Amino acid sequence: MTAEAVLDKVTTARQRFAARLSAVAADVELCLARELPQPTGHQSDIMEAMRYAALGGGKRLRPFLTVEAARLLGGDEASALHVGCALECLHVYSLVHDDLPCMDDDDLRRGRPTVHRVYDEAMAVLAGDGLLTHAFQMLSDEAAHSDPAVRIRLVAELARASGTHGMIGGQVVDITVLESERDTALITSLQAMKTGALIRFATQAGCLVAGGQAQDFAALNSYSTALGLAFQIQDDVLDVEGDAAVVGKAVGKDEHLGKATFVSLLGLAGAKDKARRLGDTAKAALAPYGEKAQTLIGAVDFVLEREH
């Protein structure tokens, strides 16, 4: 193959991936718009706040991974989309609460004012609570899967991934552990909980929806564990190299806060190198699936090359 042909093939793969990511993001938007409570009655404020937080933006990487993991294994895509949207509700609740004045005190999210800036703090707390609750309501719905045993397994795994041994635990470690205690091992385990647990759940959920076998769970788990950490390292890189207008949230915060990150611990080149190696691990985990895994493989390049 000529250099030009290789470049063409790479370009085409990138374009195909981008098209697929956009298509799923559009499906996610429609599904969330339909599934989130419609503003009504005296409690319409919170329903508007929940919709403001959840609709109109985001890469929708987590539901994308659920849909693509299910597709890889021949699972029902409508079920996977519904489950992915439940996961997205949970992810969005965590952003709304993380942005609160008593937490990260952020004014900007996905390029727009945060929920507590548009509404108020009380409504942001309640809208987050509402989204968290709605995530479990969506998983309990038959649209998630026809078999109640699969649905309750999804509930169990999402609660575990997002609880004190998962996402919430990671957030607590992040806000309580002293700078002097932060080394690469601690940051790695912190991020495995804070962002990694939900990304692992994303592919695991697709596997559950599709009725995957033990080797599918193992392969997708290796893939998403590596991908999740690469994603976080790229987040740290963007905090140093990124442009707030493109990233959609404040940048340079970590350095300003004197916060240890993969970049401060490994250097910019070291962090990028680590992310690349994790990307290779993620891709290798899906080798047994051959061409069928090309979209999930594409997600690795997307995560490593993303600018927001």
Compute the least distance from the CB of residue 128 to its own copies, in Å: 8
The interface region with its own copies, picked from 127-135, 217-225, 236-244, 296-304 by CB under 8 A, is 127-135
Task: Give the Cα separation of 229 and 279 in Å (integer).
Answer: 9
* 23 close to 261: Cβ distance less than 8 angstroms: no
Asked if 176 is part of the footprint of its own copies (rule: CB under 8 A), the reply reads: yes
Residues near 92 by beta carbon (within 8 Å), at least 6 away in sequence: 53, 54, 58, 131
Token digits of residue 124:
């942001």
The interface region with its own copies, picked from 148-156, 200-208, 258-266, 269-277 by CB under 8 A, is 148-156
Selected from 25, 33, 47, 55, the binder of its own copies by CB under 8 A is 47
Angle among Cα 201, 242, 30 to the nearest 5 degrees reads 45
CA distances from 38 to 43, 124, 241 (A): 10, 17, 40
- The dihedral through the CA atoms of 152, 22, 199, 278 has a sign that is positive
- Per DSSP, the residues of 212-269 read --HHHHHHHHHHHHHHHHHHHHHHHHHHHH--HHHHSS--SHHHHTT---HHHHHHHH
Asked if 237 is part of the footprint of its own copies (rule: CB under 8 A), the reply reads: no
Q: Is residue 31 classed exposed, middle or buried when 0-12, 13-18 and 19+ CB atoms within 10 A define those classes?
A: buried
Rg (CA), the chain: 19
Compute the least distance from the CB of residue 198 to its own copies, in Å: 12
Selected from 14, 37, 217, 259, the binder of its own copies by CB under 8 A is 37
* 70 close to 77: Cβ distance less than 8 angstroms: yes
* 213 close to 248: Cβ distance less than 8 angstroms: no
The interface region with its own copies, picked from 21-29, 99-107, 228-236, 261-269 by CB under 8 A, is 99-107
The interface region with its own copies, picked from 4-12, 58-66, 164-172, 244-252 by CB under 8 A, is 164-172
The interface region with its own copies, picked from 137-145, 204-212, 216-224, 243-251 by CB under 8 A, is 137-145
Compute the least distance from the CB of residue 127 to its own copies, in Å: 9
Closer to its own copies at the Cβ: 99 or 236? 99
Asked if 78 is part of the footprint of its own copies (rule: CB under 8 A), the reply reads: no
* Helix, strand or coil, per DSSP, at residue 215: helix
Compute the least distance from the CB of residue 307 to its own copies, in Å: 30
Closer to its own copies at the Cβ: 12 or 137? 137
Q: Name the residues that contact its own copies, by CB under 8 A.
A: 37, 41-43, 45-47, 50, 93, 97, 100, 102-103, 120-123, 125-126, 128-130, 132-134, 136-137, 139-141, 148-149, 151-153, 155-156, 158-160, 162-165, 168-173, 175-177, 186, 190, 193
